[in-house]
Each structure stands twice: as structure tokens, then as C-alpha cells.
Amino acid sequence: MGIVNVTPDSFYGASRVREEQAVLKCVERILSEGAGIIDVGGYSTRPSADFVSTEEEIKRVSRALESICREFPDLIISVDTFRSQVASEVLKHYPVAIINDVSGGSLDERMFETMASTKAAYVLMHMRGTPQNMQEKTRYEDVVVEVLQDLQQKLVNLRALGVHDVIVDPGFGFAKTLEQNYLLLKELAVFRELEAPILVGISRKSMIQKLLNVNADEALNGTTAAHMLALAGGASILRVHDVKEAVQAVKIYTQTYQA
């Protein structure tokens, strides 16, 4: 899953694209490097991110989708949003296949109902709080158990509503400390118990930057190492900034363990 950020403030500057030609060039590159899905986001969810109104988010995402769908009609598109209104609008007007909700329904009580009214797949991610305060909510007795239980209960709720095409995401970097992130990565295989595909989004994140004492621009090598661990733990989808390198990691992993 290749990242397309139509925002001015996402944490990795090279991923930000806003003008139409820049968006299309970004998507073309992502596809040429081997991505199967693109994930379009109009609201940065980095720690302490600026607030963006629902109207502005819809405007940003719709403008990008208009161009993308015209030029790449067969593309599998995911939209990164935690707002049911944004999800409803894009699903109504564009062939969006996936809604990627970083809050797992916790920031909009209508999200699950919205998903139940569509045929789109849903990424259920674990997070506490909001992008503005989530790093103040990192107290767990057992982070792996609590994240697993939270996702499990929400899966039950979604399936009761008739939403069965669900992808789970432990939420690396969202209301987790450095140590908690690596414990989740170490124990990722536990999430196979949920019997749902696992999405992992760790590309160039602070868990890599802080451990290696590098910035986002220097975090590709660490990202690739973490991706290999995620694949070994059962990840089905890698959400990435660097598609070419991630595809290479997948090929090496597959050749080694699944040939």
C-alpha cells in the first residue's frame, strides 16, 4: 500500500503532494514500483498534528480522487480518514475500495454504521485519544493483550453489523511508546488470532528514527529491516512511503519462506 498524502504537514516531507500533476506523478511512480493499493489521506495523523475541518479534508481528498480516478480507473484505492462523513462522501462519489480508519471507530461513533451501509473494506486500527493527545495515553498493563482485546471487541461489533471485510492494524506509533511499539512488532503473530488480514504501518516512523538516531529522510534502511520482521509476524499489507524497497523485501521474504 503506497502512501499519497494530500496534506501540507505529514511527518515525512517527501510524501506530501497537493497539486494535480504532483499527485498523478506520485501515483504513477507508486504503481510502477509495484504497489497494489494506494492510500490517500487529507489529514495528517502524526503526533500533535494540526486540526483540519471535515470540509477541508473532503475538499483535499476529493480533489485528488477526481484526478486519480480519471487517470487510473482500475486502481485499488484506500482513503485514510477517521470521519464517517468523509468516508460517506468519497464512497458515494468515487470507486474507493477501502476506508483506513486510524481511530478504529473511536473518534466517530457513526463510522461502523457507515461501513455497514457499503461494500468497502475497512481497516480497523488501534489508537487511544486523538492525534493531538495520543502520546499522553500510553499506559498499559500489557500492551499486546490490551491492543488485541480492543481490536477483538470491535471486530465483534463490526461483524454484528454485517461488516466482514475487515483488516486489522495494531497502530504502531499511535498511543505507544518506543518500547511498546517494538514489543508489538515482536509479538505481531499473536494478531493472527483475529482471523483477519494484518496491516502494518511503520514506514519511516519515529519508532525507527528514535532507535537509530536518524531523521525521517534517513530511516529507509531501518524501515526495511522492520518490514522483514513484520512479514515474518504475519503482515498481509505493508503501508509504505518507499514502494520499490518494500516490494523487494516482500520478494526476498516470499522466496525464502514461501517458495
How far is residue 97 from each of residues 114, 181, 250, measured CA to CA in Å? 14, 28, 23
244 is catalytic: no
d(CA 77, CA 58): 15
CATH of the domain at 23: 3.20.20.20
User: 137-149: per-residue pLDDT in tens?
Assistant: 999 999 999 999 9
Contact between 75 and 4 under an 8 Å Cβ cutoff? The reply is no
Catalytic residue among 128, 154, 204, 239: 239
The reported pTM is: 0.92
Give the model's pLDDT for residue 134. 87
How far is residue 2 from each of residues 138, 150, 234, measured CA to CA in Å? 28, 27, 19
User: 190-231: per-residue pLDDT in tens?
Assistant: 999 999 999 999 999 999 999 999 999 999 999 999 999 999
Catalytic residue among 205, 210, 244, 251: 205
25 is catalytic: no
Domain count, the chain: 1
Residue 18, domain extent: 2-257
d(CA 225, CA 70): 36
Q: Identify the helix (H) or strand (E) that includes residue 39.
A: strand 38-41
Contact between 227 and 249 under an 8 Å Cβ cutoff? The reply is yes
pLDDT category at 48 given cuts 50, 70, 90 is low
Residue environment code for 115-141, b if the CB has 16+ CB neighbours within 10 A, otherwise e: beebebbbbbbbbbbbbeebbeebebe
